Structure 1
């Protein structure tokens, strides 16, 4: 017997909690994925004086999407100049990714802070968050360390090295495994529902046998919903120009994929900061199936969304990287930032959104 409709179309990936603990190096005190050990320098004096380095203030904004933009852009600059990129050893990037190459140097955050304060007059600062600066010149004065501060949130800084950057953002194995398992388990459950099979009768270790004419392939559309208090109730963010995607946008975006991919078996994979709101909004699509990723961890959310075929991009850099890592058809919310706001003056949309992405 099929489950009730509301349970049939809403599949949950369960939450697992872990906590971050910093000792001599970043690690988890209660985690299924330990952070890989790496060499950490204690001071600037330990660095090779014959090498070139790029340093930045990575405390501009600690969000994972913001850090990924900073890393991708600065790593691209370093590659262009045969330089090393210095990262604070406690960066949250290490919590998600584990494929940093040998041109990435980890330095104690205290040493970075001291150097940045001492040499703040030498820093090159680019305050407009989402604009491509085409005239950034580095290492012309033969200094060994170049300080670059800014958000650098434009694909134009690194898109010419896309494959190289994507390899840098390789998720830690257990994060990746959990994301794959979540979608695989959901797929098997959907097969059982479509074929009216009892999963208990199938067993755990049997080969799944499907009818010859059964279409077993699903087309996953990732949706990152940003509707939490930081964007809906935070007065400073609202005044600055941050917006959240409207209900109309989600309706139009979902209908776009239903129309354009009507021959595919669509599954909408939803992650975000307000899934209760998302479930209420998406419940109107009675015929569609939604998978809600309730991992409780942004790294697993992003790793799961990356496995999708296409993306519905709401707002924010986390959602942006969901689309970029997925590298498939993408529609995005055109109402960000709020027209005429301070943030609107800092954003050049043609520098921020890829030309192949569709504005709705």
Structure 2
């Protein structure tokens, strides 16, 4: 019986071979097989390469995305990228600062950027650090910059090189190797130029994480917002209002759980106050209305959150619109800034405070053209990052480029 089966199999194979040979010659079969092998080789190479490109582009998208801080809710676990650091041979100094929060953020970020770039130690006057830490964590010990608040490194020294900057930058500060004249370099003024720290954007954003004092009352604000938009209670998960990270609150607003309808949140900072008298500028209602309509057209289901130093003005002009919310009148500047950064995108009128709200929110930005004013003698490209948009302006003053 086994012998019979073997004979049948041999007959079957012989018949199959005869059939194949009747359809193709052996030469044609060899060509076809070779072609298939080559095809599969190219197919594998192409998809492997494409896969690597896809993964790389996906990582880049997450790495630079405006939602990058939402990947992990444990902000303390953030590990900064290690860039080579040599022995400290220089010192960057900031010990005077004018203006309010936005100005000091610029000065600190610029000093950090220069210290990081040139592997310098950073001296920050203790009062500046205390002021910033009233709003931010400033966990500089977790970065590659060595901070000192020891006054002895700057007192009674004759070798400190000091320069003033308002809102433009000095290219010679970026030269490698570092100019020996700048071994002890003091930043005076404001240094409001994003180029000083853009190379270390992630690290600056890490330093400017909001502390719990700035977050805690925003918990109540988020509770009111989700109640008004989705009519659901606030769920902090494993956190309490005293421990919840800012990034977690932001995720609740911009990534609601299905089947809730997604909402695009746009923060608006309206600066008035001393700008009306000192700079003599006031953003027009036409500009603000146009900017909001710009986002309403661009994003489905937009909502706006306004912070301002003149909330009565905001309530008068926008308080009756159902898609607009205003931060509480009792919020201090750090709480208002934390509220604005809860949003994905931003509308800015004037001032460094609104600039930083937009930078930290890390989304689309529309900025009025009324600031900086011409007499500030700024270079536009030094002050404004390239992703800030100026699609419309209806204000009383327009940008005038500095004459060179």
TM-score normalized by the length of structure 2: 0.62
- Three-state SS of the structure 2 residue aligned to 1:336 is coil
Cα distance change of structure 1 residues 349 and 298 upon mapping to structure 2, 3 Å threshold: same
Is the Cα–Cα contact under 8 Å of residues 90 and 108 in structure 1 kept in the other structure? no
Gapped runs of 5+ residues in structure 1? 1-48, 193-198, 207-211
Q: Which has the larger radius of gyration?
A: 2
Match of 1:64 in 2: 101
Q: Is the 8 A contact 1:123 1:149 kept in 2?
A: no
Tell me whether 1:296 sits opposite 2:327 in the alignment: no
Give the drift of 1:53.
1.9
Match of 1:324 among 348, 359, 363: 359
Work out whether 1:153 is the aligned partner of 2:192: yes
Q: How far 1:84 sits from its partner (Å)?
A: 1.7
- Match in the other structure for 2:375: 342
Within a 5 Å distance, the mapping from 1:180-199 to structure 2 comes to 180-192=219-231
Which residues of 2 match residues 1-360 of structure 1 at below 5 A? 52-59=90-97, 61-91=98-128, 92-102=131-141, 103=145, 105-107=147-149, 114-115=155-156, 119=158, 122-127=160-165, 129-136=166-173, 140-141=179-180, 145-192=184-231, 215-228=260-273, 230-232=274-276, 234=277, 237-238=278-279, 243-261=281-299, 263-264=300-301, 266-283=302-319, 286-338=321-373, 341-343=374-376, 346-359=377-390, 360=392
Structure 2 stretches lacking a partner, 5+ long: 1-86, 238-256, 393-404
> 2:338 and 2:272 mapped to 1: Cα distance?
20
Contact 2:123 2:150 in 1 (8 A): no
Residue 50 to residue 205, structure 1, CA distance change in 2 (3 Å): closer
Looking at structure 1, the residues matched to 146 and 135 of structure 2 have their Cα atoms a distance apart, in angstroms, of: 16
Structure-1 separation of matches of 2:168 and 2:181? 27
Is the alpha carbon distance of 1:302 and 1:204 closer, same or farther for their aligned partners in structure 2, counting shifts above 3 Å? closer
Give yes or no for contact 1:50–1:144 (8 Å, CA) kept in 2: no
Equivalent-residue separation in structure 1 for 2:353 and 2:328 (angstroms): 15
**Quick check: 1:55–1:146 contact (8 Å CA) kept in 2?**
yes
Q: Secondary structure at the match of 1:296?
A: coil
Tell me the CA shift for residue 256 of structure 1: 0.9
Higher mean alpha-carbon deviation, 182-191 vs 294-303, is at 182-191
Deviation at 1:321, TM superposition (A): 0.1
Structure 1 residues 318 and 176, CA gap change in structure 2 (3 angstroms): same
Given that residues 348 and 358 in structure 2 are in contact (C-alpha distance below 8 angstroms), is that contact kept between their aligned partners in structure 1? yes
* 1:203-253 alpha-carbon deviations (Å, 9 max, x no partner): 9999xxxxx99534322110111111x111x3xx23xxx523222111111
Higher relative contact order structure (alpha carbons within 8 Å, sequence separation ≥ 6): 1
Aligned length: 279
Deviating more after overlay: 174-183 vs 149-158: 174-183
User: Which 4+ residue blocks in structure 1 deviate beyond 4 angstroms?
Assistant: 111-115, 202-206
SS where residue 135 of structure 1 aligns?
helix
Equivalent pair of 1:58/1:67 in contact (CA under 8 Å): no
* Residue in structure 1 matched with residue 397 of structure 2 by the alignment: none
Per the alignment, do residues 112 and 278 of structure 1 end up closer, same or farther by CA in structure 2, a change over 3 Å counting? farther
The 8 Å contact of residues 58 and 70 in structure 1, kept in 2 or not, is answered as no
Residue 287 (structure 1) shift: 4.6
Q: CA deviation at 1:291?
A: 3.3
Task: Report if the CA contact (8 A) 2:113-2:197 is conserved.
Answer: yes
Greater helix fraction, Structure 1 or Structure 2: 2
Q: Indicate if the aligned counterparts of 1:132 and 1:351 stay in contact, CA closer than 8 A.
A: yes
Cα distance change of structure 1 residues 203 and 57 upon mapping to structure 2, 3 Å threshold: closer
SS of the residue 2:124 aligns to = strand
Q: TM-score if structure 1 supplies the norm length? A: 0.69
